[in-house]
Each structure stands twice: as C-alpha cells, then as structure tokens.
Copies of this chain bind each other. A is one copy, B any other.
Amino acid sequence: MIDARGLRMTPVRRRTLEILLERHGALGAYEILERLSADGFGHQPPVAYRALDFLVENGLAHRIRRLNAFAACQHPGQEHHAAFLICRLCNAVAEIAADKLRATLIASSAATGFDLERTSIEALGLCPACIESAPA
C-alpha cells in the first residue's frame, strides 16, 4: 500500500480525495466528515482533518483559508505552487499557477533575512459566471 513516492494511500485518504474531486469547488472539513462517516469511516473530526492534512501535505489537495475549506489539486503530481481565485458570490475556487509570484515573494523575503517555506496566495472577487448574472 505504498506508492512510488512512498505515499500510503489508504482507504480514508483515497475516499477523501474522491469526495473532493466529485465536487468542483471547495468543501469544509465537516461536510467531508459527514460523507466519510456515511461511507463507514469514523465520525469524529480528526478523521477528516487527518486525511485532509495528508492530502495537502502531499500536494493532492489545497487548503483554502479564506473559506476554511479544502479543494482537490488541479495539477497533482506536478511540482507547482498555486494561487486561488475565490468568487465572493458563488464560492467557486479557481486554481492558477503562482510559481512566478512565489519566486518574487521569495526574493522579497530573502532581502529581509526571512527563510520562506510555504506560501498561501488567495484572491477574492467575482468569477466570470457571477459577473454575467450580477449586474452593476
């Protein structure tokens, strides 16, 4: 049960990822927990949080802090750093590449002596669909 990269993709973890993939967009930990427990897994928060931590840690999912939620990664397997565009009306989450942004950020922070390890870049606004349907 260990894949090429040394990952242990156990049943809870796999199911958690599937749940995230089924939904396009972000899901809260407790929504995920409901589904997991409906599928026979544990009923307590740590069950969901642990699986989610694992997925995030291994680049299979992202945590969207502004929504206190999680979303499946759109480009798993590729080393990449993402930024998220979050619609304030429909809560849709789009993932865009942020490698350049991150490089800039690393440069700026290095200038202050800070050793940057992880970034989280999120933006709030209106998605194309909501711009259509919501007039000025």
Contacts and interface: CB of A to CB of B under 8 A. Distances in A.
B123 A109 contact: yes
Interface residues of A, number: 33
A113 B101 contact: no
Contacts of A116: 85, 123-125
A117 interface: yes
Contact of A123 (B105, B126, B128): B105
A80 to B, nearest CB: 14
B121 A125 contact: no
A119 B105 CA distance: 14
Contacts of A101: 101, 104-105, 121
Contacts of A121: 101, 105, 119-122
Interface of A: 65-66, 83, 85, 87-88, 94, 96-97, 100-101, 104-105, 108-109, 112-128, 131
6 contacts: A83-B108, A87-B114, A105-B121, A114-B123, A116-B125, A121-B122
Given A97-B108, A114-B128, A115-B126, 15 more contacts: A65-B65, A65-B66, A83-B105, A83-B108, A87-B114, A96-B109, A101-B105, A105-B121, A113-B131, A117-B126, A120-B121, A120-B122, A120-B123, A120-B124, A121-B122
